[in-house]
């Protein structure tokens, strides 16, 4: 074998017993320290290559993206429970290309700017919510914001802060997402190890009956949601969501209504937890690095004064822009990335990555590479600033221009423009409206946030919950924030 070497494993089982279900990104980083930036793992019937430094990930996943942009099979999660319709989980086939095209139409750099008004309004509403509910749990409020923004952007749905009917949608979509996440966990279903089980009749395979029924129910729900979103165009005068905008592109690229409905559902799933996780990490960074918060406030006061931020302010706010990038580096919301699959044999240096190997570009390890970043565990936005104070897209040479947190190659996150805009607006809004301060316990002692504890949901990962105080920076804040 010309696979790169890796940590020793057991006969037949390989490394399977050492691969943790939670905190995998930390384990990969630990293995990187003893095995170098490129190493292999094995599980029964499956080889895995981990690319844990920026150069190897750029060489293999970006520069050779044609043969490394596949996805491993997710028989239960994608094929049975989703009828092969999840764009994140299908191979890079014709359906995937069609679907990426309509996403590109709706979420490219220019189109994403069209959602700025929604992102600004919902960020303002988040601030009002925090003002009216001091001491509320932070993460649910952030999740409500990101879910509300993406629902409005996709389906022209009403704000979750103003309309109680939206909660029902969020609940249903969250249930679907949980079921998919569970099904995608390694060894959750035996059919992943023995694909032939997929062909058992329903009555002999309860997992199949559950998966097929789940698909029927989810399909009806997502198609209905999409149709509802498309019908908003009759109302006129309102911002138009992706559902309406995608109708034209759908015909152009030959995308079926069912495919577009599932694309929208996946966009919701991909865009909600990720953004909320990033903003929660920002709040923690502001507690741990008060000097960064101070510098951000200096820029905010100089550029915005009493005016609420908008996306249009970003070119004048290089420090805030750098804060967004540093947050995504420091605490990437998908720290292990998304597994790619080699669809051909790929030669890389002295190694060959055989066809069928899972290839992981380990985002956390790349972002926390000590030789590249010097002090990777420190939150230091300055690493994204040039000597003349402009924001750098990346401090790395020889790497694609986007933040590593958005993945690699042809699978690079298609929602990154939308997400970057959202993060800039929401983070700047919070820092403009509030001083983010440590909470105190009943004895008046400062409560430190848990710096390295995580809530790991398998794919997405966010800091463990912590309390903090949002202290308004102006007495007239309530007068300028949008109503809820």
The 8 Å CB, 24+ separation contacts for 83-89 are 83/215, 83/219, 85/219, 85/258, 85/259, 85/262, 86/180, 86/262, 86/266, 87/262, 87/263, 87/266, 88/266, 88/270, 88/338, 89/184
Q: Is 229 in the site for ligand HEM (CB under 6 A)?
A: no
Under the binding rule (CB under 6 A), the answer on residue 151 touching ligand HEM is: no
For ligand HEM, which is the closer residue by CB, 304 or 334? 334
The least CB distance from residue 279 to ligand HEM, in Å, is: 9
CA atoms in the 13 A half-sphere facing the CB of 37: 16
Backbone angles phi, psi at 351, to 5 degrees: -105, 160
Residue nearest to ligand HEM (CB): 415
Interaction between residue 86 and ligand HEM (CB under 6 A): no
Quick one: which of 25, 74, 107, 214 contacts ligand HEM (CB under 6 A)? 107
Residue 275 touches ligand HEM, criterion: CB under 6 A: yes
Taking a C-beta distance cutoff of 8 angstroms, is the pair 380, 322 a contact?
no
453 contact partners, CB below 8 Å, separation of at least 6? 463, 464
Should residue 226 be labelled a site residue for ligand HEM when binding is judged by CB under 6 A? no
Q: Would you count residue 88 as binding ligand HEM (CB under 6 A)?
A: yes
60 is an interface residue for ligand HEM by CB under 6 A: no
CB 66 within 8 A of CB 184: no
Among 155, 319, 338, 424, binds ligand HEM (CB under 6 A): 338
Cβ-based neighbour number of residue 383 at 10 Å = 19
- Asked if 287 and 450 count as a contact pair (C-beta separation under 8 A), the reply is no
**Smallest separation (angstroms) from ligand HEM to the CB of 120:** 16
Structure tokens of 190? 């035996």
Count of C-beta atoms within a 10 Å radius of residue 115: 25
Q: Which among 184-192, 273-281, 307-315, 470-478 is the span making contact with ligand HEM, rule CB under 6 A?
A: 273-281
Distance, CA of 330 to chain centre: 14
Closest CA to 308 of 473, 104, 138: 473
List 266, 461, 468, 481, residue binding ligand HEM (CB under 6 A): 266
Query: Of the two residues 32 and 408, which places its CB atom closer to ligand HEM in the complex?
Result: 408
With binding defined as CB under 6 A, does residue 366 bind ligand HEM?
Answer: no
Minimum distance from residue 163 beta carbon to ligand HEM (Å): 21
Asked whether position 274 contacts ligand HEM by CB under 6 A, the answer is: yes
Whether residue 407 contacts residue 337, with contact meaning beta carbons closer than 8 Å, is answered with yes
Stretch that binds ligand HEM, among 14-22, 208-216, 217-225, 271-279 (CB under 6 A): 271-279
> Segment 376-435, which members bind ligand HEM (CB under 6 A)?
405-408, 411-415, 418-419
Shortest distance, position 49 Cβ to ligand HEM, whole Å: 14
Annotated binding site: 413
- Minimum Å gap between C-beta 409 and ligand HEM is 6
- Residues comprising the chain, all counted: 484
Shortest CB 302 distance to ligand HEM, Å: 27
Binding mask 284-323 for ligand HEM (x = CB under 6 A): ----------------------------------------
Q: Which is nearer to ligand HEM, 69 or 293 (CB)?
A: 69
350 Cβ contact partners less than 8 Å away, ≥ 6 residues apart: 2
In a 10 Å sphere around its CB, with 0-12 CB exposed, 13-18 middle and 19+ buried, how is residue 97 labelled?
exposed
Phi-psi sector, 237: left (phi>0), alpha (psi -120 to 50), beta = left
Known binding residues for heme are 413
267 binding ligand HEM? (CB under 6 A): yes
**Is 333 a binder of ligand HEM (CB under 6 A)?**
yes
Tokens representing residue 208 in the block: 């199949």
Query: Of the ranges 24-32, 162-170, 272-280, 432-440, which one interacts with ligand HEM (CB under 6 A)?
Result: 272-280
Of 138, 147, 157, nearest to 242 by C-alpha is 157
Binding site for ligand HEM (CB under 6 A): 87-88, 100, 103, 107, 266-267, 270-271, 274-275, 278, 333-334, 337-338, 405-408, 411-415, 418-419
């Amino acid at each position: 074998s010309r696979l790169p070497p890796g940590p020793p494993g057991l006969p037949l089982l390989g490394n399977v017993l050492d691969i943790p279900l939670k905190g995998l990104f930390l384990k990969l980083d630990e293995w990187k320290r003893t095995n170098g930036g490129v190493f292999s793992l094995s599980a029964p019937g499956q080889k895995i290559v981990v690319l844990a430094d920026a150069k190897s990930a750029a060489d293999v996943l970006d520069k050779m993206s044609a043969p490394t942009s596949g996805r491993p099979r997710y028989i239960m999660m994608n094929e049975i429970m989703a009828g092969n319709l999840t764009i994140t989980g299908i191979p890079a086939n014709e359906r995937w290309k069609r679907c990426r095209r309509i996403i590109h139409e709706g979420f490219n750099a220019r189109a994403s700017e069209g959602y700025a008004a929604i992102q600004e309004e919902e960020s303002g509403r988040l601030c009002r919510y925090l003002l009216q509910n001091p001491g509320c749990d932070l993460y649910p409020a952030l999740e409500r914001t990101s879910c509300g923004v993406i629902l409005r952007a996709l389906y022209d749905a009403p704000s979750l802060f103003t309309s109680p009917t939206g909660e029902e949608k969020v609940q249903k979509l969250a249930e679907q997402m949980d079921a998919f996440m569970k099904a995608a966990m390694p060894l959750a279903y035996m059919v992943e190890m023995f694909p032939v089980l997929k062909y058992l009749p329903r009555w002999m395979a309860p997992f199949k009956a559950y998966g097929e029924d789940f698909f029927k129910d989810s399909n009806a729900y997502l198609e209905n949601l999409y149709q509802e979103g498309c019908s908003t165009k009759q109302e006129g005068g309102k911002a138009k969501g992706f559902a309406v905008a995608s109708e034209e592109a759908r015909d152009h690229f030959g995308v079926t209504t069912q495919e577009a409905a599932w694309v929208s559902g996946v966009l919701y799933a991909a865009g909600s937890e990720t953004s909320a996780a990033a903003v929660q990490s920002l709040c923690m960074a502001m507690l741990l690095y008060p000097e960064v918060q101070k510098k951000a406030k200096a820029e905010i006061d100089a550029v915005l004064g009493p005016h609420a931020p908008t996306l249009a302010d970003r070119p004048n706010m290089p420090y805030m822009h750098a804060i967004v990038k540093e947050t995504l580096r420091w605490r990437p919301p998908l720290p292990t990335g998304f597994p790619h699959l080699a669809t051909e044999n790929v030669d890389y240096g002295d190694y060959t990555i055989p066809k069928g190997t899972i290839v992981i570009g380990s985002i956390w390890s790349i972002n926390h590479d000590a030789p590249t970043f010097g002090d990777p565990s420190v939150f230091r936005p300055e690493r994204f600033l040039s000597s003349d104070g402009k924001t750098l897209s990346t401090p790395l040479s020889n790497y694609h221009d986007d933040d590593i947190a958005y993945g690699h190659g042809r699978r690079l996150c298609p929602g990154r423009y939308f997400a970057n805009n959202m993060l800039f607006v929401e983070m700047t809004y919070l820092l403009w409206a509030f001083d983010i301060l440590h909470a105190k316990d009943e004895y008046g002692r400062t409560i430190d946030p848990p710096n390295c504890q995580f809530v790991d949901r398998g794919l997405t990962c966010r800091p463990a919950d912590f309390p903090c105080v949002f202290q308004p920076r102006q007495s007239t804040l309530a007068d300028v924030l949008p109503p809820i």
